[in-house]
């Protein structure tokens, strides 16, 4: 799972002239954003390691828009995807774009393994879609929270809002262990963010928060 590809690369601020690769990635990112009619908002945090939330996640368009934004921001990201995505003829392409294959029926110790990855690299941005699917579910998966908590890194609110056609970076939240209080902060930020298919949007809540949330409170 842990490979040399899991590295976040910040822009080279010591160079007065962007490299050809940087210019090409940015140009491609701007092209994709223009084609999808999206604008970027906010600035990436000046951090070397963090878990980046990708939400809301309701369509296949979320990934290309997210990647386009990362190209423009010059933030290299890595993301976890279903292993079958990497088995076809375009598997190499998804790996090149930072994809990490995950076998869903072998999730034992996934949190520990991903948290350990942060120990092996000085710079790493791991993108996680908390819903884990484009379909409607009743809860976010808690992996993003426990990975960050175990690794001792902050969580950054990334978003794609189809209502305003904007996306980018929101607040940075350091998990405290008080899951309910921390999730209230995420709920406040994502309350007005709308996915491409609003009817598929998952409430911002975790089963870990307790019976009140599970029964509907805080959704």
Q: Where are the domains of the chain?
A: 38-214
Residue 89 DSSP SS3: coil
- Asked if residues 2 and 116 have their Cβ atoms less than 8 Å apart, the reply is yes
Strand order in the sheet with 166-173: 39-41, 166-173, 155-161, 49-55, 124-128, 78-82, 99-102
Residue range 194-215: mean pLDDT, rounded: 83
Joined together, the tokens standing for residue 28 give 């491609």
Average pLDDT, the chain: 83
Least trusted range by pLDDT, from 13-17, 72-76, 125-129, 171-175: 13-17
Which positions ≥6 away from 27 have C-beta within 8 Å?
Answer: none
Least trusted range by pLDDT, from 56-65, 70-79, 93-102: 93-102
**pLDDT score for 212:** 65
Q: What is the pLDDT of residues 103-134, one digit of tens each?
A: 665 555 778 878 888 888 888 899 988 986 66
E-assigned strand segments in 75-179: 78-82, 99-102, 124-128, 155-161, 166-173
Res 8 pLDDT > 70: no
Instruction: Tell me the sheet residues that pair with 155.
Output: 51, 173
Distance CA 85, CA 92 (A): 10
Instruction: Tell me the sheet residues that pair with 40.
Output: 167
Higher pLDDT, 103 or 85: 85
Q: Give me the CATH code for the 38-214 domain, please.
A: 3.40.50
E-assigned strand segments in the chain: 39-41, 49-55, 78-82, 99-102, 124-128, 155-161, 166-173
């Amino acid at each position: 799972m842990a490979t040399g590809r899991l590295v976040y690369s910040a822009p080279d601020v010591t160079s007065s002239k962007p490299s050809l690769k940087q210019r090409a990635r940015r140009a491609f990112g701007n092209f994709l954003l223009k084609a999808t009619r999206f604008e970027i908002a906010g600035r990436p945090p000046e951090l070397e390691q963090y878990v980046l939330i990708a939400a809301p996640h309701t369509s296949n368009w979320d990934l290309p828009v997210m990647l386009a934004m990362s190209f423009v921001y010059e933030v290299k990201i890595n993301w976890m995807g279903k292993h079958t995505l990497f088995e076809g003829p375009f598997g190499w392409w998804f790996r090149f774009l930072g994809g990490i294959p995950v076998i869903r029926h072998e999730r034992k110790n996934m949190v520990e393994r991903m948290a350990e990855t942060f120990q092996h690299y000085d710079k790493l941005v791991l993108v996680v879609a908390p819903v884990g699917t484009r379909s409607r579910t009743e809860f976010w998966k808690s992996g993003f929270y426990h990975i960050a908590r175990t690794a001792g890194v902050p969580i950054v609110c990334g978003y794609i809002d189809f209502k305003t056609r904007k996306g980018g970076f929101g607040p940075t939240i350091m998990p405290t262990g008080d899951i309910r209080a921390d999730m209230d902060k995420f709920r406040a930020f994502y309350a007005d963010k709308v996915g491409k298919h609003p009817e598929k949007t998952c409430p911002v809540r975790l089963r870990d928060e307790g019976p009140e949330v599970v029964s509907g409170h805080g959704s």
